[in-house]
Amino acid sequence: MAVMISGASIMDGAMLLISATEKCPQPQTREHLAALQIAGIENIVVVQNKIDIVSRERAVESHAEIRDFLSGTIAEDAPIIPVWARTTMSTSMS
C-alpha cells in the first residue's frame, strides 16, 4: 500500500476500475479507494468494466453495489461509467 500511496501523491485524478462480474467491493478495490482518500484525490471516475459479459440485471445490481460502496467516501459523487474493454469483437458478416 505504501507504494500505491506514494504514486497517488503525484496524481491529479484517478479512474477506479471495478468489474461487473464480481461483488463490490473486493479487498483490492477497498485498498485503492483508501489510497485515493489518503492522498486526497478528489477527481475520481469510476469505471464499471466487463458489462458485455454479464446480464443486464447483473450490470444494474453491480452499479447499485458500487454506488453503495462509494456512499460516504471521497468518491460518493463520482460518475460511474459502464464499459467493456475488449480489444477485438467477433462478429459474423454473413
Rounded to the nearest 5 degrees, what angle is found at the Cα of 70, between the Cα atoms of 64 and 73?
A: 160
Q: Catalogue all structural domains in the chain, each as residue range(s) with its CATH number.
A: 2-82 (3.40.50.300)
User: What band does 91 get if pLDDT is binned at 50, 70 and 90?
Assistant: very low
Average pLDDT for 21-29: 98
Residue 1 has pLDDT above 80, yes or no: no
Q: How far apart are CA 30 and CA 66, in angstroms?
A: 11
Mean pLDDT over the full length of the chain:
88
Q: What percent of the chain has pLDDT over 70?
A: 82
Average pLDDT over residues 38-67: 96
φ/ψ of 45, rounded to 5, equals -120, 130
